[in-house]
Protein backbone atom coordinates (compact mmCIF):
# COMPACT_ATOMS: atom_id res chain seq x y z
CA UNK A 1 0.00 0.00 0.00
CA UNK A 2 2.58 2.55 1.10
CA UNK A 3 6.16 1.80 0.19
CA UNK A 4 8.84 4.33 1.04
CA UNK A 5 12.39 3.64 0.04
CA UNK A 6 15.33 5.67 1.19
CA UNK A 7 13.36 8.92 1.37
CA UNK A 8 15.31 12.10 2.10
CA UNK A 9 14.04 15.63 2.47
CA UNK A 10 16.22 18.70 2.62
CA UNK A 11 14.89 22.18 3.30
CA UNK A 12 16.77 25.29 2.43
CA UNK A 13 16.51 27.95 5.09
CA UNK A 14 18.31 30.77 3.39
CA UNK A 15 21.82 29.41 2.89
CA UNK A 16 21.59 26.72 5.51
CA UNK A 17 20.33 23.33 4.45
CA UNK A 18 18.30 21.41 6.96
CA UNK A 19 17.99 17.68 6.54
CA UNK A 20 14.56 16.76 7.82
CA UNK A 21 14.65 13.15 6.63
CA UNK A 22 17.86 11.19 6.15
CA UNK A 23 16.93 8.10 4.21
CA UNK A 24 13.76 6.61 5.58
CA UNK A 25 12.41 3.29 4.33
CA UNK A 26 9.01 2.19 5.50
CA UNK A 27 6.21 -0.06 4.36
CA UNK A 28 2.62 0.20 5.54
CA UNK A 29 0.19 -2.55 4.59
CA UNK A 30 -3.34 -1.85 3.52
CA UNK A 31 -5.70 -1.78 6.51
CA UNK A 32 -2.94 -1.21 9.02
CA UNK A 33 -3.12 1.28 11.88
CA UNK A 34 0.29 2.76 12.45
CA UNK A 35 1.51 5.42 14.85
CA UNK A 36 4.44 7.65 14.05
CA UNK A 37 6.02 9.04 17.19
CA UNK A 38 8.92 11.21 18.02
CA UNK A 39 9.86 14.55 19.58
CA UNK A 40 9.38 17.78 17.64
CA UNK A 41 12.02 18.21 14.99
CA UNK A 42 12.38 14.47 14.58
CA UNK A 43 10.99 14.59 11.05
CA UNK A 44 7.64 12.95 11.75
CA UNK A 45 5.63 15.89 10.38
CA UNK A 46 7.74 15.96 7.24
CA UNK A 47 7.14 12.22 6.92
CA UNK A 48 3.40 12.77 7.20
CA UNK A 49 3.42 15.57 4.59
CA UNK A 50 5.24 13.31 2.16
CA UNK A 51 2.95 10.36 2.78
CA UNK A 52 -0.02 12.72 2.40
CA UNK A 53 1.27 14.00 -0.96
CA UNK A 54 1.42 17.55 0.38
CA UNK A 55 5.17 17.56 -0.11
CA UNK A 56 7.63 15.84 -2.38
CA UNK A 57 10.75 14.03 -1.17
CA UNK A 58 14.16 15.37 -2.25
CA UNK A 59 15.19 11.83 -3.18
CA UNK A 60 13.90 8.30 -2.78
CA UNK A 61 10.95 6.32 -4.06
CA UNK A 62 7.38 6.59 -2.82
CA UNK A 63 4.94 4.03 -4.15
CA UNK A 64 1.34 4.69 -3.18
CA UNK A 65 -0.88 1.78 -4.16
CA UNK A 66 1.85 0.72 -6.55
CA UNK A 67 2.12 4.13 -8.23
CA UNK A 68 5.27 6.21 -8.00
CA UNK A 69 3.99 9.56 -6.74
CA UNK A 70 7.18 11.34 -5.65
CA UNK A 71 7.60 13.08 -8.99
CA UNK A 72 4.01 13.87 -9.88
CA UNK A 73 3.01 17.44 -10.67
CA UNK A 74 1.27 19.53 -8.05
CA UNK A 75 -2.07 19.16 -9.79
CA UNK A 76 -1.73 15.35 -10.00
CA UNK A 77 -0.84 15.26 -6.31
CA UNK A 78 -3.93 17.38 -5.59
CA UNK A 79 -6.02 14.78 -7.43
CA UNK A 80 -4.42 11.98 -5.38
CA UNK A 81 -5.15 13.86 -2.15
CA UNK A 82 -8.71 14.47 -3.19
CA UNK A 83 -9.49 10.80 -3.92
CA UNK A 84 -7.16 8.62 -1.85
CA UNK A 85 -6.13 10.53 1.25
CA UNK A 86 -8.02 12.10 4.13
CA UNK A 87 -6.40 14.50 6.58
CA UNK A 88 -7.22 15.12 10.20
CA UNK A 89 -5.29 17.92 11.88
CA UNK A 90 -4.59 18.91 15.46
CA UNK A 91 -6.20 22.29 14.87
CA UNK A 92 -9.17 20.74 12.99
CA UNK A 93 -8.67 23.15 10.06
CA UNK A 94 -12.31 23.64 9.24
CA UNK A 95 -13.41 26.65 7.19
CA UNK A 96 -14.79 29.21 9.60
CA UNK A 97 -18.20 30.80 8.89
CA UNK A 98 -19.08 27.65 6.96
CA UNK A 99 -21.53 25.03 8.19
CA UNK A 100 -20.34 21.55 9.20
CA UNK A 101 -22.00 19.89 6.23
CA UNK A 102 -20.50 22.36 3.75
CA UNK A 103 -17.09 21.69 5.27
CA UNK A 104 -17.62 17.98 4.74
CA UNK A 105 -18.66 18.62 1.14
CA UNK A 106 -15.44 20.51 0.38
CA UNK A 107 -13.31 17.61 -1.00
CA UNK A 108 -16.16 16.60 -3.31
CA UNK A 109 -16.36 20.15 -4.70
CA UNK A 110 -12.85 19.78 -6.04
CA UNK A 111 -13.28 16.26 -7.36
CA UNK A 112 -16.59 17.14 -9.02
CA UNK A 113 -18.49 14.42 -7.18
CA UNK A 114 -22.25 14.38 -7.55
CA UNK A 115 -24.82 13.98 -4.78
CA UNK A 116 -22.60 15.91 -2.42
CA UNK A 117 -25.17 16.84 0.18
CA UNK A 118 -26.31 13.22 0.59
CA UNK A 119 -22.78 11.86 0.84
CA UNK A 120 -21.81 14.55 3.33
CA UNK A 121 -24.84 13.69 5.45
CA UNK A 122 -23.85 10.03 5.43
CA UNK A 123 -20.33 10.91 6.54
CA UNK A 124 -21.62 13.13 9.33
CA UNK A 125 -23.89 10.31 10.44
CA UNK A 126 -20.87 8.01 10.64
CA UNK A 127 -19.28 10.33 13.21
CA UNK A 128 -22.62 10.87 14.97
CA UNK A 129 -22.97 14.55 14.14
CA UNK A 130 -25.86 14.63 11.70
CA UNK A 131 -27.91 16.69 14.13
CA UNK A 132 -25.25 19.42 14.07
CA UNK A 133 -24.92 19.57 10.29
CA UNK A 134 -26.01 23.20 9.97
CA UNK A 135 -23.81 24.49 12.77
CA UNK A 136 -20.72 26.53 12.10
CA UNK A 137 -17.38 25.42 13.60
CA UNK A 138 -17.50 28.23 16.15
CA UNK A 139 -20.75 26.78 17.47
CA UNK A 140 -19.23 23.32 17.97
CA UNK A 141 -17.04 21.92 20.75
CA UNK A 142 -13.49 20.81 20.03
CA UNK A 143 -14.49 17.16 19.92
CA UNK A 144 -17.37 17.92 17.58
CA UNK A 145 -15.12 19.96 15.31
CA UNK A 146 -12.67 17.09 15.13
CA UNK A 147 -15.50 14.73 14.26
CA UNK A 148 -16.54 17.07 11.42
CA UNK A 149 -12.93 16.99 10.25
CA UNK A 150 -12.99 13.17 10.33
CA UNK A 151 -16.23 13.16 8.36
CA UNK A 152 -14.54 15.40 5.80
CA UNK A 153 -11.55 13.03 5.67
CA UNK A 154 -13.68 9.92 5.09
CA UNK A 155 -16.33 11.32 2.77
CA UNK A 156 -14.40 10.41 -0.39
CA UNK A 157 -13.77 6.84 0.87
CA UNK A 158 -10.00 7.32 0.94
CA UNK A 159 -7.45 4.56 1.17
CA UNK A 160 -5.56 6.34 3.92
CA UNK A 161 -6.45 8.72 6.70
CA UNK A 162 -3.53 10.72 8.02
CA UNK A 163 -4.11 12.10 11.49
CA UNK A 164 -1.60 14.69 12.70
CA UNK A 165 -1.90 14.96 16.51
CA UNK A 166 -5.67 14.47 16.21
CA UNK A 167 -6.21 14.62 19.95
CA UNK A 168 -3.65 17.30 20.73
CA UNK A 169 -6.30 19.92 21.45
CA UNK A 170 -8.80 17.64 23.16
CA UNK A 171 -9.33 16.40 26.72
CA UNK A 172 -8.70 12.75 27.45
CA UNK A 173 -12.36 11.68 27.43
CA UNK A 174 -12.99 13.30 24.04
CA UNK A 175 -9.69 11.92 22.81
CA UNK A 176 -10.92 8.43 23.56
CA UNK A 177 -14.11 9.06 21.59
CA UNK A 178 -12.10 10.28 18.62
CA UNK A 179 -9.77 7.29 18.80
CA UNK A 180 -12.81 5.03 18.90
CA UNK A 181 -13.94 6.48 15.57
CA UNK A 182 -10.52 5.85 14.06
CA UNK A 183 -10.63 2.22 15.26
CA UNK A 184 -14.02 1.79 13.72
CA UNK A 185 -12.93 3.26 10.37
CA UNK A 186 -9.89 1.03 10.44
CA UNK A 187 -11.71 -2.18 11.34
CA UNK A 188 -15.08 -1.77 9.60
CA UNK A 189 -14.00 0.12 6.47
CA UNK A 190 -10.47 -1.16 6.24
CA UNK A 191 -9.05 2.34 5.90
CA UNK A 192 -5.36 2.54 6.58
CA UNK A 193 -4.78 4.93 9.45
CA UNK A 194 -1.52 6.69 10.16
CA UNK A 195 -1.41 8.56 13.45
CA UNK A 196 1.25 11.14 14.11
CA UNK A 197 1.54 11.86 17.79
CA UNK A 198 3.99 12.45 20.59
CA UNK A 199 1.67 10.99 23.23
CA UNK A 200 2.56 7.39 23.99
CA UNK A 201 -0.96 6.74 25.24
CA UNK A 202 -2.47 7.71 21.86
CA UNK A 203 0.24 5.91 19.96
CA UNK A 204 -0.63 2.72 21.77
CA UNK A 205 -4.00 2.66 20.01
CA UNK A 206 -2.11 1.54 16.93
CA UNK A 207 -0.70 -1.92 16.32
CA UNK A 208 2.68 -0.68 15.27
CA UNK A 209 4.64 2.28 16.59
CA UNK A 210 7.41 3.75 14.50
CA UNK A 211 9.64 6.18 16.37
CA UNK A 212 11.54 8.94 14.64
CA UNK A 213 14.63 10.73 15.85
CA UNK A 214 16.80 13.17 13.92
CA UNK A 215 15.18 12.38 10.61
CA UNK A 216 15.57 8.65 10.88
CA UNK A 217 13.55 5.74 12.16
CA UNK A 218 15.04 4.99 15.56
CA UNK A 219 12.75 2.25 16.72
CA UNK A 220 9.89 0.10 15.54
CA UNK A 221 7.67 -1.96 17.81
CA UNK A 222 4.68 -4.15 17.23
CA UNK A 223 2.14 -4.09 20.01
CA UNK A 224 0.41 -7.27 21.00
CA UNK A 225 -3.34 -6.93 21.14
Partner 1 sequence: MKIFDSIFLALHGIIANKLRSSLTMLGIVIGVAAVIALMSIGQGAQTFITQQIQGIGTNLIMVFPGQASNQGVRSGAGSASLTMEDAAALNDPIFAPDVAMVAPSSQSQESIVVGSVNTRSPILGVTPDYQFVRNWNVSSGEFFLPSHVDARSLVAVLGSSVAETLFGGTDPVDQFISIRRIKFRVIGVLGAKGGSGRGNSDDVVMIPLTTLQTRLSRNFGSGGATRVSDINVTVLTPDKIEDAKMQISEILRERHRVAPGEEDFTVLSQEDMLATLSSVTMVMTIFLGAIAGISLLVGGIGIMNIMLVTVTERTREIGIRKSVGAKSRDIMFQFLVESAALSFTGAIIGYLLGLLASNLINGANLNGVVLRTTVTPFISFLAFGVAVAIGLFFGIYPARRAAKMDPIEALRYE
Q: Which residues bind partner 1 (CB under 8 A)?
A: 49, 52, 54-55, 74-75, 78-79, 81-83, 87, 89, 93-95, 97, 106-107, 109-112, 152
Nearest to 213 by CA among 98, 34, 44: 44
Q: Which is nearer to partner 1, 83 or 207 (CB)?
A: 83
Minimum CB distance to partner 1, residue 96 (Å) = 8
Nearest to 55 by CA among 121, 13, 110, 7: 7
Distance from the Cα of residue 3 to its chain's centroid: 16
Minimum CB distance to partner 1, residue 107 (Å) = 4
Distance CA 117, CA 128 (A): 16
3-state secondary structure of 194: strand
* 206, 186 Cβ separation under 8 angstroms: no
Q: Which is nearer to partner 1, 66 or 112 (CB)?
A: 112
Q: Which is nearer to partner 1, 81 or 205 (CB)?
A: 81
Q: Which is nearer to partner 1, 43 or 107 (CB)?
A: 107
Q: Which is nearer to partner 1, 152 or 205 (CB)?
A: 152
Distance CA 87, CA 81 (A): 9
Minimum CB distance to partner 1, residue 106 (Å) = 5
Minimum CB distance to partner 1, residue 110 (Å) = 4
Q: Which residues pair with 208 in a beta bridge?
A: 34, 222
Minimum CB distance to partner 1, residue 134 (Å) = 16
Q: Which is nearer to partner 1, 113 or 174 (CB)?
A: 113
Distance CA 169, CA 167 (A): 6
Beta strands 33-37; 2-13: pairing state? unpaired
3-state secondary structure of 169: coil
How many CA atoms lie within 13 Å of 126's alpha carbon, on the beta-carbon side? 26
Where does 134-191 have alpha helices with state H? Answer: 142-154, 172-188
Minimum CB distance to partner 1, residue 201 (Å) = 25
Amino acid sequence: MIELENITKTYKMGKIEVQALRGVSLTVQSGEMVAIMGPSGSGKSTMMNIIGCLDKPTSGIYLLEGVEVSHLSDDKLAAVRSKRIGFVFQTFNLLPRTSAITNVELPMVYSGTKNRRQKASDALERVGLLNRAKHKPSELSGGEQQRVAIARALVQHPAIILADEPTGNLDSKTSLEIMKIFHELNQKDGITIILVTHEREIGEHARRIISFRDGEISNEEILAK
